[in-house]
Chains A and B, each alone.
Chain A
Amino acid sequence: MIPKNFTRRLRLLSTFKIAARALRRNKLRSALTALGIIIGVGAVIAMVSIGNGAKAQVEAQIAGLGENIILIFSGSTTASGIRTGWGGAGTLKIEDAEAIRREVPAVTLVSEEVVSTAQVMAGNQNWFTRIYGESADYFDLRQWALADGAPFTDQDVRSANKVCVVGRTTATQIFGSEDVVGQVLRVKNVPFQITGVLTPKGLTSQGTDQDDIVIMPYTSAMKRVLGGGTTLRNINAQVASPGDLAPAQQQIIALLRQRHNIREGRDDDFTVRNQEEIAAAQTATTETMTALLAGVAVISLIVGGIGIMNIMLVSVTERTREIGTRMAVGAHGRDILTQFLIEAISLSAVGGIIGIILGIVSAKVLAAVKNWPSLISPGSIVAAFLVSAAVGVFFGFYPARKAAQLDPIDALRYE
């Protein structure tokens, strides 16, 4: 006598054969059913990877600001009831930056910043770009290396020399190449010698080209581009470690209030933000977006699952006589249950695998087209596959049980 569990295993094996034959008989229906899952799983993977990519990009941008940065903006968010926006009122002086450098020991690097836009020219080419005036510490502070040449020096800042560093976009737009060190760039008709070209940083999440820029000593910018003036848009300061951020921020606030003669109880005429606050806000935004995308994708997966259940239910009704015939020739209720479950699970598993491939491909394509990074997390692939298999079991079980419980006599007579 053959052992019982052996025959049971053989029986399961032939049930697989039976299910495979049944799926083959209805190729179009099988394909359409799997399509629901393909789209669902594909959407989950594409959406999650795009969400992750966006998050990583935002994080990279924030890291690109440099580490442990404190930003001090001119003007208050609420100055005497009139909200001017950051950098709006010229309340920060060059001396304020000097004072921070001198009196806040935790601060290691400081860069005075002014910002403008201008038409720049070289030869017969011209280009509208952003002009940043900074100190020589700026490149270390932003951890922004040069691809070619050298940054300007403290001496250049002190003497307000006519030198600048350009971003890649500006270089290629004006000169048609990146090999521009030593060339002369005319900003508001003042010739600036290019000392270096920055490494490209790409687009921000808002779509601004970070490489479309000219950076020059802030002294030169104030004198030769802004046409005088002594106020800064903002001051960038860097502290040694994240633990220094909060105390240094407090000291800077106290120092500036004292320097600006702001009495107790009155609002600051400047705004201090540290990088972690900015990072938290931005990350929260992208996380919300990721959750939203994932939610939409999960809904499509559930719709796909309901599609499977619908098809399986229709197919149980349509195949009632087939089920009766199978039972008449010796199929147990369990064989029918297993067959229908295998059909449902195969459809969703095959759909899941194709969906994973489709999801990865579409994430890559979208990322390439939109210039986003796409981060395909193995976790989301495993999760999407397990969910799709579970969808098969969950939505396949009810129709399968319905089929298994049919009475063979009724099933055989079913019209």
Chain B
Amino acid sequence: MSNSSDATAVRLEEVRKTYHTGEVEVHAVRGVSIEIGQGEFVALMGSSGSGKSTLMNILGCLDRPTAGRYFLDGEDVSSLSRDELADVRNRKLGFVFQSFNLLSRTSALENVELPLLYSEIALTSAQLREKAEQVLASVGLEGRGDHTPSQLSGGQQQRVAIARALINDPEVILADEPTGNLDSRTSVEVMEIFQTLNEKGITIIMVTHEQDIASYARRNIVMRDGLVCDDIVVQNRFNATAELEKKTAAEALEAAV
């Protein structure tokens, strides 16, 4: 994976999604065309009802568009079957959720291994474990592999979830309000991980409604009423590492006073 943004990771062409709830037709997404290159870090924003969640579901191959086409890594995935979509999710996507969605009473290692158990690649238990340990280490959780979610803090749980998203070497990481359940410092820590991963060339699409979180991304796409209303490159982008240092300094100062 290169850092150059020439290749396209995601391309949406006039994507629409209409729900039928009883008599009423709800046009959640009304013709969205966007292109996201490899190595981009996009924040998808918008108020509730703007269609950003629906668009995220389509991007995540959890839902199919009613009309329009969706190319993921050059492959048209807009009309795949349920099982084919599951395989695409397994091979090309990594999910990070607001509420982590880790399996309870299950060790961090086993949680991280989960996508590999549904993959076409067959690995032995030892290989699974080794790979999971590597990925856990890359998000700063060395030696915590045997902890269960209840033994980990919120930030640590989200790191386990990020490790789970990374284990299949996905094309795109989709994060749905990844900092929604975290305090501000932990949120920045998660952003630091995202920025580091992005530096390595991993494409990240993140839904958020917090402007300051969106400022860690390279590009912000804002939705309103089922349409893209704004698509901007982030000026004065936040650097998570620098922000963390500032916070640490501020806390030290507070402690001194």
Report A's interface with B, CB cutoff 8 A. 2, 7, 10-11, 14-15, 17-18, 21, 25-26, 321-322, 324-335, 408-409, 412
Q: Tell whether A25 pairs with B104 under 8 Å between CB atoms, given A14-B118, A18-B117.
A: yes
- Residue A326 contacts which of B82, B83, B114 (CB distance < 8 angstroms)? B114
User: B66 in the interface, Cβ–Cβ < 8 Å?
Assistant: no
B115's partner among A17, A321, A329 (CB-CB below 8 A) is A329
A111 to B224, CA, bound (A): 109
Cβ contact within 8 Å between A329 and B95: yes
Set of chain B residues within 8 Å of A25, measured between Cβ atoms: 103-106
Question: Is B90 a contact of A329 with CB atoms below 8 Å?
Answer: yes
Beta-carbon contact of B60 and A328 below 8 Å: yes
Chain A residues closer than 8 Å to B83, beta-carbon distance: 332-334
Q: Which residues of A contact B159 (CB under 8 A)?
A: none
Min C-beta distance of B174 to chain A, whole Å: 9
Residues of B within 8 A of A321 (CB): 101
Residue count of chain B within 8 Å CB distance of chain A: 30
Let me know if B183 is at the binding interface, CB within 8 A: no
A322 and B62 alpha carbons, distance in the complex (Å): 15
Contact with A along B103-131 (1 / 0, CB 8 A): 11110001000110111101001000000
Q: Which of B60, B86, B91, B101 meets A331, CB within 8 Å?
A: B86
Cross-chain contact A329 with B105 (CB below 8 angstroms): no
On B, residues with C-beta under 8 Å from A are 57, 60, 62-63, 82-83, 86-87, 89-91, 95, 97, 101-106, 110, 114-115, 117-120, 122, 125, 164, 168
A332 touches B101 (CB 8 A): no
Identify which of B82, B118, B168 gathers the most chain A CB atoms within 10 Å of its CB.
B118
A15: nearest chain-B partner, CB-CB: B117
CB distance from B211 to the nearest CB of A (A): 25
Q: Considering residues B117, B120, B164, which has the most beta carbons from chain A within 10 angstroms of its beta carbon?
A: B117
Docked-complex contact B122 and A329, CB < 8 angstroms: no
What's the minimum C-beta distance from B88 to chain A, rounded to whole angstroms?
A: 8
A330 touches B87 (CB 8 A): yes
Q: Are A333 and B118 in contact (CB under 8 A)?
A: no
Residues of B within 8 A of A328 (CB): 60, 62, 89, 95, 101
In the complex, A330 Cα to B92 Cα: how many Å? Answer: 10
Distance in angstroms from B140 CB to nearest chain A CB is: 22
